[in-house]
Structure 1
Amino acid sequence: MQAQLQTIIRKAQVSDIQSLVNFNQLMAKETEDKQLDSDILTLGVSNLINDASKGFYLVAEIEELVVGSLMVTTEWSDWRNSEFWWIQSVYIVPQFRRKGLYSALYNQVKSFGEKAGNVCGYRLYVERENRVAQRTYEALAMGESHYLMFEGK
């Protein structure tokens, strides 16, 4: 029987920026076959880490190695007089997938949301073809929204 590895879920800090940049690059390539501009991405990650009003990243750490992350940003809902928290930029290192790391990250997001006291729900985007991720979200009692997303430039 294999021993369970100790997982630490924590808010990301400045020392995690390079890991977060790498994860975002890998996720964009894997999900959309896109190469992100490293300089812009590094500035974007750094700006969020250094300005809590923009949101926060959580990281999953095993044996002092960052193996997963997600980002949370907020959206004000006038209808509910509270915030939706958007989960974005989810990435788990491939050899650590299907081991409960996303669940641990998501549960920490919900715990922070409950402590904040003004969160009415949690939302995320998922690629239509990414059935594995969709099953993971469904297992955590997340369901498909009735909204479609439109985007302009």
Structure 2
Amino acid sequence: MSHLKNVEARILQCLQSRFVGRYVTLPGRARVWTVSLCPEQGEGRTPLVLVHGFGGGVGLWVLNLDRLGARRPLHAFDLLGFGRSSRPPFPHDAQGAEAEFVRSIEDWRQQMGIGAMILLGHSLGGFLAASYSLAYPER
């Protein structure tokens, strides 16, 4: 984990925007590593939330973060089981694993105090963003 932390710090050095990295603890005690850019920028605008693909993490977005976060709050997080986030046990069936990911995104949103958000996903993250949107269309 310390090696991952060091590598991610080097990757994020290229950002021009101010950012904050922190763990968000979910109700079940799992922790989600989250990077937020200029949370005060774009006050009142709907936050953009980035969901990486399989085998990815926050670093996947590094070349896009400055531009995407220029006019609204932006958050990127490591899905449970990836990057610097916790690795809790997951159901072995596809539907159960999907439901667990969607539930963790909703728990993360609540812990962050975000009312509504724009989800942008890559690969598996796109699938999970669509699945989340079907389960929580009001968000």
Indicate the TM-score class for this superposition, using the shorter chain for normalisation.
Answer: 0.3 to 0.5
Larger Rg: 1
Relative contact order, CA 8 A, sep 6+: which one is greater? 2
More strand by share: 1
